[in-house]
Chain A
Amino acid sequence: MSDKRTFEIYRYDPDRDQKPYMQTLEVELDGSERMLLDALMKLKKVDPTLSFRRSCREGVCGSDAMNINGKNGLACLTNMRTLPQKVVLRPLPGLPVVRDLIVDMSPFFKQYHSIKPYIVNDTPPPEKERLQSQEDREELNGLYECILCACCSTSCPSFWWNPDKFVGPAGLLAAYRFIADTRDQVREERLDNLEDPYRLFRCHTIMNCVDVCPKGLNPTKAIGKIKQMLVSRS
């Protein structure tokens, strides 16, 4: 079964290259490379300098996010059958490139950290678990599953323009995960923290985030709920 693919890959090693360039690599797949990540591992044998992050290879660790034929996604969850003969790979847009497909994620994590991504409940805990109804727990579905791959935030034009001021879809999804948790005690503070023309309201419901999320999550919906809460408390 012959499956010859052409890869065009963004390459840049600041230690060696004056400027970035697109490298063309032809590779013959033998059918054992189900996913794009498998193909990338094969390409790395051809050219060991090709650099990208990877770990779990099953879509839960969030390491191998990249721009695949113009759309952000995880290499390990992108089936080669769904890709055309020519595959163009670029680093996630909007973040500084460290090398090849590896970006500096710190602006992304800085925004995640800015929403205080942890439960705050300083009441002395009971001896056993804090009780939570099944309905209240269900509120967290679609929120806690985020893998912090940054596919969403780096596909968002508002985040490209204001990565230092706009929290971005991933951070806002996380913000709502804690707002929605009945065990958290600082909801008002969390809302205060987002009531700002940039931090939350730069979201213009373009919905690229929903389109690219490899886990099928919907940050726009969560953002909508936060906006509603801010409106109803004012």
Chain B
Amino acid sequence: MALAIHKYDAVVIGAGGAGMRCSLQLARAGLKVAVLSKVFPTRSHTVAAQGGIGAALGNMDEDNWHYHFYDTVKGSDWLGDQDAIEFMCREAPKVVYDLEHMGMPFDRNPDGTIYQRPFGGHSAKYGEKPVPRACAAADRTGHAMLHTLYQQNVRSNTIFYVEWMAQDLIRDAEGDVVGVTALEMETGELAIFHAKCVLLATGGAGRIFAASTNAYINTGDGLGMAARAGIPLEDMEFWQFHPTGVHNAGVLLTEGCRGEGGILRNKHGERFMERYAPKLKDLAPRDFVSRCMDQEIKEGRGCGPNGDYIALDLTHLGAETIMKRLPSVHEIGKNFANVDVIREPIPVVPTIHYQMGGIPTNIHGQVVVPKDGNPNTVVPGLYAIGECSCVSVHGANRLGTNSLLDLLVFGRAAGNHLIETALASKAWKPLPADAADRTRERIARLDASTSGEYAQDVANDLRQTMQKHAGVFRTQASMDEGVKRVMEIDERARHIALKDKSKVFNTARIEALEVANLMEAAKATMVSAAARKESRGAHTVNDYGDTPEFPLGRNDRDWLRHTLWYSEGNRLDYKPVNLKPLTVESIPPVKRTF
């Protein structure tokens, strides 16, 4: 049976902050754009972001984008590309003002300007003291932002395909991306979207870990699509542990808790971060704070009967501040820890939160791959933005508030680039005859399966394995073993059985298809991690500790470079980090202290 073919100028996969910021730009310019999303747009995981959007507005204290630039480079442990970081930090005030003009309900200062709160790793005067830079709507910033973007897309008549799951990229003989296959969940029908450009904005793959702040939908679908289409994934060994996930629940408590004055305490009630980071204290970057917490727990100073968590203390902030600035934190404490944060500290542990790596791109959002000696050759027709991409502004460790910023800056930039260049001149390239074959084969195999494992059992084993072998503290031996385990699970994942063969809203089929994407993200993570023989940012390996030659285990001589992992053959390649900003002086690598 011939598949339905939908023809658009551009197809955006994913309706989170990045996808909808981009689609808004395209729709406003009058382009024919379709946005495909597994969930209704306002259910995308951007909705769960809490703390704020980083931008040096200087509304509450002296600030400028140079400080933001410096903090981000240092926060990235120098793995971030300084051209992209400069671009993001300079654009930041503009995209925040834009969002305000769209109706974003930011909190306000007495003078009517946008309220900003301090956040981890954000400082004034190059690390001297914390600075309020996170533009916030209480502790619901992501919710407010995602709804605002959806609302403006409604106004601009963006076409949404809601509850459609994109499956595979369609590349022609020259390697150009000319479309994508997608499954309509309600009917089970497969269709082809024929486009001049495809933009991936599918978010991260946080569900490859067992304890994660991420939503069930965060299965790295864009990563799987890219990997299957022969595109490498960059720096996938770098996964952020957020210091304050609710113990035993995984639900996130914003860094804004500490931005508003909250304190981390060990079992003696000690504010231990003062020992590790004398200047920024509890507001040091996330990789740093997470390691300190783990250290406290390891050395027997953890809280609770099993000594396995840290206490986040907000009790000194007072009910008024908590209910005004952190109302959702109060709600989460009640629902998920049975704790009233106004009265008692809440148990927290470092929890998987964010994927720093992703599909390699340039600052226009164009996907780039090594070809003919150029490490950054554009793949015509393909863009990637947001958490699924690696531009790279976060390097080895992202600063809080820079993710929402990333979505806005690169959503807008990719939109502008699509409008100005790619779409202005380009016609639709013809679809290859085998456009849907890969997807049809994958679905046909599932539909024909009679015996085999249930997708969720395989996925749960994968999550436990990743948790064990790619956690906060890594060892070389454990990572090497992790590679073997993950490859074994990969084999099992090829033989998943689908019991439910219904055409109608078959969530079991969707879950089985998601496992294929989880597998690509997990293999990329495990293989890239085991190969990187140093400690940098979130990738902390016991074997590579502090030495005079390699302070804090970071080896700039051999490893100041980006990893590229290819699915085919589990192959690794590397490319240089761009240490040259667009207009300002480079920040040279130094030992990271806070």
Contact A61 B502 (CB under 8 A): no
B473 at the interface (CB under 8 A from A): no
Q: Interface on B for A, CB 8 Å cutoff?
A: 39-40, 42-45, 47-48, 57, 93, 96-97, 100-103, 105-114, 137, 140, 143-144, 147, 151-152, 154-155, 186, 215-217, 249, 251-252, 328, 331-332, 335-336, 454, 456-457, 499-500, 502-508
Closest to A215 in B: B331
* Residues in B whose Cβ lies below 8 Å from that of A60: 47-48, 140, 143, 328
Cross-interface CB contact of B505 among A34, A51, A59, A105, cutoff 8 Å: A51
A21 at the interface (CB under 8 A from B): no
Contact B43 A55 (CB under 8 A): yes
Cα A147 to Cα B103 with chains together (Å): 17
Q: If A44-B456, A56-B215, A60-B143 touch, does A128 touch B155 (CB 8 Å cutoff)? A: no
Contact A132 B43 (CB under 8 A): no
Q: If A63-B43, A129-B106, A133-B112 touch, does A57 touch B216 (CB 8 Å cutoff)? A: yes
Contact B504 A13 (CB under 8 A): yes
Contact A130 B101 (CB under 8 A): yes
Contact A61 B215 (CB under 8 A): yes
A111-119, A196-204, A217-225 - interface stretch: A111-119
Q: If A117-B154, A133-B108 touch, does A125 touch B103 (CB 8 Å cutoff)? A: no
Q: How far is the CB of A80 from chain B (nearest CB, A)?
A: 12
Closest to B101 in A: A125
Q: How far is the CB of B140 from chain A (nearest CB, A)?
A: 6
Cα A14 to Cα B107 with chains together (Å): 47
Supply 7 A–B pairs (Cβ within 8 Å), ascending by A: A44-B456, A48-B499, A48-B500, A49-B508, A57-B251, A61-B42, A119-B102
Closest to B142 in A: A60
Find the residue from B45, B137, B140, B505 having the highest chain A CB count within 10 A. Answer: B505
Taking A51-B506, A129-B114, A147-B42 as known contacts, 9 extra A-B pairs with beta carbons closer than 8 A to each other, sorted by chain A number, are A56-B216, A60-B47, A77-B335, A105-B40, A118-B151, A121-B101, A131-B108, A131-B111, A184-B103
Q: Interface on A for B, CB 8 Å cutoff?
A: 13-16, 34, 44-45, 48-49, 51-63, 77, 79, 98-99, 102, 105, 109, 113, 116-121, 125, 127-134, 137, 140, 144-145, 147-148, 178, 181, 183-184
Contact B110 A14 (CB under 8 A): no
Cα A59 to Cα B333 with chains together (Å): 13
Contact A58 B48 (CB under 8 A): yes
Q: How far is the CB of A170 from chain B (nearest CB, A)?
A: 12
* Residues in B whose Cβ lies below 8 Å from that of A125: 97, 101
Cα A120 to Cα B103 with chains together (Å): 8
Closest to A100 in B: B505
A contacts with B: majority SS:
loop
Cross-interface CB contact of B97 among A98, A128, A144, cutoff 8 Å: A128
Contact B502 A183 (CB under 8 A): no
Closest to A51 in B: B507
* Residues in A whose Cβ lies below 8 Å from that of B328: 60
Cross-interface CB contact of B336 among A44, A58, A144, cutoff 8 Å: A58
Cross-interface CB contact of A181 among B103, B143, B147, B155, cutoff 8 Å: B103
Contact B505 A99 (CB under 8 A): yes
* Residues in B whose Cβ lies below 8 Å from that of A34: 249, 336
Find the residue from A34, A55, A137 having the highest chain B CB count within 10 A. Answer: A55
Closest to A105 in B: B40
* Residues in A whose Cβ lies below 8 Å from that of B503: 15
Cα A45 to Cα B40 with chains together (Å): 25
Cα A52 to Cα B252 with chains together (Å): 24
Contact A118 B500 (CB under 8 A): no
* Residues in B whose Cβ lies below 8 Å from that of A56: 43, 45, 47-48, 215-216
* Residues in A whose Cβ lies below 8 Å from that of B215: 55-57, 61
Cα A113 to Cα B40 with chains together (Å): 14
Cross-interface CB contact of B47 among A48, A61, A140, cutoff 8 Å: A61
Cα A34 to Cα B251 with chains together (Å): 13
Contact B43 A98 (CB under 8 A): no
Cα A130 to Cα B99 with chains together (Å): 11
Contact A52 B143 (CB under 8 A): no
Contact A99 B504 (CB under 8 A): yes
Q: If A62-B43, A118-B103, A125-B97 touch, does A45 touch B456 (CB 8 Å cutoff)? A: yes
Cα A52 to Cα B335 with chains together (Å): 22
Contact A102 B505 (CB under 8 A): yes
* Residues in A whose Cβ lies below 8 Å from that of B39: 53, 55, 61, 63
Cα A29 to Cα B44 with chains together (Å): 30
Q: How far is the CB of A118 from chain B (nearest CB, A)?
A: 4
Contact B249 A15 (CB under 8 A): no
Contact A59 B335 (CB under 8 A): yes
Cα A57 to Cα B214 with chains together (Å): 9
Closest to A113 in B: B154
Contact B40 A144 (CB under 8 A): no
Cα A117 to Cα B154 with chains together (Å): 8
